[in-house]
């Protein structure tokens, strides 16, 4: 069963892993530093295509949606996007507009979507965290996608705006990527029934 994992650095596996799009043909680095690895470890019958690219905004991810998601004809798509938009000062509306377009295109293609929430980074300002919360609340309310709270999965105990473990303050550790996978699995199982 083929699943596409689409997104930015938090899909690619930054900083310890480069995705197959960043380091063709199979990616490079610590393969445990990507949630795709942990999805396949838990479900060997799944083939999860890591289509993450470090640093990309939601509009850049949307620009390759057809090639990297739809054309692979997956049974489901996991989409996590928006953190780089927030980091670069883009508005909540800009992010939700791009996400809405991707959700709509997937629905049109008959491909169910698991929508992950934007995960925290430790240097985020209160204003950036507020925008991330607004985007995540919007994602949670979308009727055509299945929500997965990947932010809560990697957040520090008692600090929803910080990572519980991070090698660089910006991205999860391998253990964090494993927690993301554990949050995504129940949502995938629901859409794959």
Q: What CATH number did the domain enclosing 169 receive? A: 3.40.50.1110
Give φ, ψ of 126 to 5 degrees.
-55, -35
**Residue 37 near residue 66, CB atoms below 8 Å:** no
Residue the block writes with tokens 């600090």: 159
Confidence check: pLDDT of 5 > 90: yes
Strand partners, 28: 18
| pLDDT greater than 90 at residue 65 | yes
pLDDT of 148-158, one tens digit each? 999 999 999 99
Cα(first)–Cα(last) distance of the chain, in Å? Answer: 12
- Which pLDDT does position 85 carry in this prediction? 98
Neighbours of 53 (CB within 10 A): 22
**What's the confidence (pLDDT) of residue 193?**
83
> DSSP character for 118?
P
Residue 35: DSSP 8-state = H
pTM above 0.95, yes or no: yes
Give me the chain's average pLDDT, please: 97
Residue 107's domain spans which residues?
A: 2-192
Residues 109-143 pLDDT 10s: 999 999 999 999 999 999 999 999 999 999 999 99
Domain tally, the chain: 1
């Amino acid at each position: 069963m083929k699943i596409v994992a689409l997104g930015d650095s938090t899909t690619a596996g930054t900083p310890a892993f480069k995705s197959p799009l960043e380091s063709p043909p199979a990616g490079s680095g610590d393969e445990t530093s990507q949630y795709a690895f942990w999805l396949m470890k838990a479900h060997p019958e799944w083939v999860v295509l890591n289509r993450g690219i470090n640093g990309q905004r939601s509009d850049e991810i949307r620009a390759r949606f057809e090639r990297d998601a739809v054309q692979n004809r997956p049974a489901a798509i996991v989409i996590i996007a928006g953190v780089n938009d927030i980091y670069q000062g883009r508005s909540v509306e800009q992010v939700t507009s791009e996400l809405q377009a991707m959700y709509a295109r997937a629905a049109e293609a008959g491909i169910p979507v698991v929508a992950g929430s934007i995960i925290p980074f430790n240097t985020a300002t209160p204003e950036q965290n507020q925008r991330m919360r607004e985007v995540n609340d919007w994602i949670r309310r979308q009727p055509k996608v299945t929500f997965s709270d990947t932010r809560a999965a990697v957040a520090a105990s008692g600090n929803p705006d910080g990572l519980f473990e991070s090698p660089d303050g910006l991205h999860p550790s391998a253990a964090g990527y494993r927690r993301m996978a554990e949050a995504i699995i129940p949502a995938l199982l629901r859409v794959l029934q």
